[in-house]
């Protein structure tokens, strides 16, 4: 997570926030379904069908908005399938990793690192609140970077940040503690496909950078596999690094490309000691981690993926061209002209009619790229909002007699603009962005996924907020740690549950494999749990007739016969009934507001025809994955209206997707419908055999939650930088995991949870 968004990202984030109207799934809902969908939702079907339902029909900015809605609403309510469970059984002796073996909630864990000794008492530090930036403080900081230039305002986390532009260089400043420097901003702004590089002389470049710009805080350099970048870890007086839930350390995060440093994100805390207090030993912390208790422990894991090779289209200088990109405008902080950029390049020329505060609008421009003293700009002759969209395709790039083309699964063969010299053809699994103009795809970026189409990464997290620090001198009893039961082997799970006229919602998933084979799975999500069962996979004759009933109500009769390898209960269907065979989704236009109903706040959708509906999730549950609104924005929603379904005294609608009715320029946005189309997912990976964890490093570090995200109910609580034991390592499938254990002894803690951000 970047400490500060760059200007274009911030503008996009602001647009997404407006479009999504503060989508807020409940934390319990998100946690449960993220766990169940982990490793299940990935880009789809090899070629371009991975994107066919979104990108070909929408502009990129709107596509991202729909993706945000889809991932936080639709996908998470489609199918809660469990992740593969580690295979049981002993690990073959020849495959045993090195280290001392332990049991980690039923999974082998190996300690392959020494448990370091630490002093019995360690300092705790109080943090000084950040000082938000002013024009004067920003000018002082820019002088440290030897920068001059114009000062602008740009969207930040909680308020506008300052942005200093000096040629290609930029400095975005939130406060004295958080700021980001870009030595060559256009390099950072390579559209959508910036790929980091690992620099063999990274430490030397980092040392030179600090020396040149007057930074002399003590630090250590560490490369993060999970983040793909280098961290100059700021050290506290005890020579320990300081971490939070989301980043390996505070200090400075260095991003490299093939040319060197391309961005530096600073997070420099200011603090003072409040005394020394007793801590646990590393052995005691390890036992807490192994106890399967969520108390005092946080865990996160991230799969490490290999970045694709990327080609960016190069454009000639001082030559008239037509270009398609995103225009933004930022107001001056000093009363000067606004800053206008196109894909991160400063725009000059005919730009006086670009509206103020333009946010990431896709345009067609004519003009010339120009460079002077190394500063790259785009001189605009004319511009207009593009009557089309930023497109993307996936498929096979090949060379024909007529020139290069991309062969896609669902859109056929599309000719490409000329490729660079030496471009490797054929390319089996390419992902390209650009614009389709008169039948020619004017590509801007090409990514080669090396035989496998998909974006790697992902992971999970666990644990709970740490306890609040208690420095009152009066010990307070902590709750008894929660002990989780040992998982029951799948072949011992209870079966035989009878389903008799049980109502729920059907989800249809098409699973594809790399060899081209497919299978269809039918998942039934119960309206009300049957014991511990909230959903089942369906098996039986005649289920193919249900393909058209995706996301529709269903009634089933049958018996739970077994659990599949992913931990899902399997229902052998004796018969089923479709209550509303002709039920169709529809799009409603109106506004979202809220009202009191049956003692709770109900989200309402008031159509342009004056009809008021209570908004439910896609499976008919109130408050799950729902959007919120204040009645000001014109919205459109894709919904099902179940005959007779009501909630809190209102007729109800089941909502799948919500979006603004108009784009940023006031043009109507017609949203397509997708709720009737089955989900398309890659095949669930086979359960890893002999899965295990290996701890490779144990160290005492310091911890404080990221204060920029502090919630209103946590304000006023004194934040402390406190010692934690950090265990890091790899799993047998190559993922990186981190376990943090609160190191303070119990008499220096109190049972209330501290402010906390879910890792990941």
pLDDT digits (tens, 9 = 90+) for 713-728: 455 567 899 999 999 9
Band (485; pLDDT cuts 50, 70, 90): low
More confident residue, 59 or 355: 355
Report the chain's C-alpha Rg in angstroms: 28
pLDDT number for residue 358? 86
For 747, half-sphere exposure in the C-beta direction (CA atoms, 13 angstrom radius) is 6
pLDDT digits (tens, 9 = 90+) for 574-585: 999 999 999 999
**Whole-Å CA distances, 642 to 282, 575, 614, 625:** 57, 22, 12, 18
Identify the three-state secondary structure at position 147: coil
Identify the three-state secondary structure at position 56: helix
pLDDT at 77 over 60: no
Residue 261 and residue 206: Cα distance in Å, rounded? 8
pLDDT at 152 over 90: yes
pLDDT number for residue 66? 31
pLDDT number for residue 404? 96
C-alpha triplet 507, 509, 513: angle, nearest 5° = 165
Beta strands in 281-374 (DSSP E): 297-302, 309-312, 321-330, 339-342, 345-349, 361-372
Beta strands in 18-106 (DSSP E): 100-104
**Whole-Å CA distances, 459 to 304, 366, 436:** 9, 43, 35
Q: Does the predicted model carry a pTM greater than 0.85?
A: no
pLDDT digits (tens, 9 = 90+) for 604-659: 999 999 999 999 998 898 865 556 677 788 899 999 999 999 998 999 999 998 88
- Asked if residue 389 lies in contact with residue 362, where contact means CB atoms within 8 angstroms, the answer is yes
pLDDT digits (tens, 9 = 90+) for 170-192: 999 999 999 999 999 988 876 44
Among 42-46, 391-395, 487-491, 682-686, which stretch is predicted with the lowest mean pLDDT? 42-46
Mean pLDDT of 390-411: 90
Band (664; pLDDT cuts 50, 70, 90): low
Band (392; pLDDT cuts 50, 70, 90): confident
- CB-based burial label for 545 (10 Å; 0-12, 13-18, 19+): exposed
- Asked if residue 290 lies in contact with residue 402, where contact means CB atoms within 8 angstroms, the answer is no
Among 133-137, 398-402, 542-546, 709-713, which stretch is predicted with the lowest mean pLDDT? 709-713
Counting residues of the chain whose pLDDT is more than 90, the rounded percentage is 52
- Asked if residue 513 lies in contact with residue 683, where contact means CB atoms within 8 angstroms, the answer is yes
For residue 528, give every residue at least 6 positions away whose Cβ sits within 8 Å of its Cβ, in sequence order, or none. none
**Whole-Å CA distances, 297 to 249, 259, 288, 557:** 18, 40, 8, 43
pLDDT digits (tens, 9 = 90+) for 670-696: 777 888 889 888 887 766 678 899 999
Q: Each residue of 414-453: b (16+ CB within 10 Å) or e?
A: bebeebeeeeeeebbbbbbbbbbeeebbbbbbbbbbeeeb
């Amino acid at each position: 997570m970047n400490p500060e968004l760059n200007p274009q990202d911030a503008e996009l984030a602001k647009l997404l926030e407006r479009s999504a109207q503060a989508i807020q799934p409940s934390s319990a809902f998100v946690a449960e379904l993220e766990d169940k969908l982990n490793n299940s939702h990935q880009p789809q079907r090899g070629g371009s069908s991975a994107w066919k339902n979104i990108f070909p029909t929408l502009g990129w900015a709107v596509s991202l908005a729909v993706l945000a809605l889809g991932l936080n609403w639709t996908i998470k309510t489609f199918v809660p399938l469990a992740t593969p469970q580690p295979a049981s059984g002993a690990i073959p002796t020849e495959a045993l990793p090195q280290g001392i073996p332990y049991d980690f909630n039923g999974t082998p864990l190996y300690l392959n690192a020494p448990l370091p000794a630490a002093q019995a008492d360690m300092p705790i530090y109080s943090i000084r609140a950040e000082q938000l930036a002013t024009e004067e403080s920003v000018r002082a900081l820019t002088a440290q970077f030897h920068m001059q230039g114009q000062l602008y305002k740009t969207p930040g986390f909680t308020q506008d940040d300052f942005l200093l532009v000096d040629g290609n260089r930029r400095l975005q400043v939130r406060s004295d503690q958080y700021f980001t420097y870009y030595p060559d901003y256009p390099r950072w702004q390579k559209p959508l496909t910036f790929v980091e590089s690992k620099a063999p002389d990274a430490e030397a470049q980092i040392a030179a950078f600090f020396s040149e710009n007057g930074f002399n805080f003590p630090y250590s350099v560490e490369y993060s596999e999970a983040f793909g970048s280098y961290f100059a870890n700021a050290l506290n007086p005890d020579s320990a690094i300081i971490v939070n839930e989301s980043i390996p350390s505070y200090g400075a995060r260095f991003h490299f490309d093939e040319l060197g440093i391309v961005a530096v994100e600073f997070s420099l805390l200011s603090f003072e000691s409040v005394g020394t207090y007793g801590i646990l030993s590393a052995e005691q912390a390890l036992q807490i981690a192994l106890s399967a208790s969520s108390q005092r422990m946080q865990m996160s894991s991230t799969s490490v993926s290999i970045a694709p090779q990327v080609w960016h289209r190069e454009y000639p200088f001082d030559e008239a061209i037509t270009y398609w990109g995103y225009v933004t405008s930022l107001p001056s902080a000093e009363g000067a002209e606004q800053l206008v950029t196109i894909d991160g390049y400063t725009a000059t020329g005919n730009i006086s009619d670009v509206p103020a505060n333009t946010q990431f609008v896709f345009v067609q421009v004519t003009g010339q790229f120009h460079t002077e003293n190394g500063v790259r700009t785009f001189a605009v002759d004319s511009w207009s909002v593009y009557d089309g969209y930023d497109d993307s395709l996936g498929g096979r790039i090949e060379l024909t007699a007529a020139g290069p083309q991309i062969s896609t699964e669902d859109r056929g063969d599309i000719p490409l603009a000329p490729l660079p010299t030496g471009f490797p053809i054929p390319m089996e699994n390419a992902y390209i962005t650009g614009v389709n103009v008169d039948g020619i795809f004017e590509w801007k970026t090409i990514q080669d996924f090396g035989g496998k189409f998909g974006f790697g990464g992902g992971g999970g997290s666990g644990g709970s907020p740490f306890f609040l620090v208690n420095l009152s001198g009066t010990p307070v009893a902590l709750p008894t740690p929660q002990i989780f039961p040992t998982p029951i082997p799948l072949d011992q799970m209870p079966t035989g549950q009878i389903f008799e006229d049980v109502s729920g919602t059907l989800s249809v998933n098409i699973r594809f494999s790399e060899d081209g084979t497919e299978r269809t799975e039918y998942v039934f999500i119960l309206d009300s749990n049957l014991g511990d069962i909230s959903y089942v996979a369906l098996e039986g004759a005649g289920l193919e007739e249900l393909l058209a009933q995706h996301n529709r109500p269903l009634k089933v009769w049958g018996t739970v016969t077994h659990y599949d390898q992913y931990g899902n209960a399997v229902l052998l269907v004796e018969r089923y009934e479709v209550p509303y065979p002709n039920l169709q989704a529809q799009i409603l236009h109106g506004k979202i507001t809220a009202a009191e109903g049956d003692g709770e706040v109900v989200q309402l959708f008031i159509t342009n025809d004056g009809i008021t509906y209570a908004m439910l999730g896609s499976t008919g549950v109130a408050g799950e994955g729902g959007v919120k609104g204040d009645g000001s924005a014109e919205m459109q929603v894709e919904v099902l209206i179940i005959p007779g379904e009501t909630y809190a005294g209102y007729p109800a609608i089941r909502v799948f997707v919500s979006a603004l009715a108009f784009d940023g320029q006031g043009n109507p946005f017609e949203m397509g419908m997708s709720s009737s189309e089955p989900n398309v997912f890659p095949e669930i990976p086979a359960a890893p055999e002999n899965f295990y964890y290996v701890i490779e490093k144990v160290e005492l570090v310091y911890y404080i939650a990221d204060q920029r995200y502090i919630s209103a109910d946590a304000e006023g609580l004194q934040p402390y930088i406190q010692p934690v034991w950090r265990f890091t390592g790899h799993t047998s499938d190559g993922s990186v995991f981190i376990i943090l254990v609160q190191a303070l002894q119990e008499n220096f803690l109190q049972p209330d949870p501290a402010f906390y951000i879910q890792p990941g």
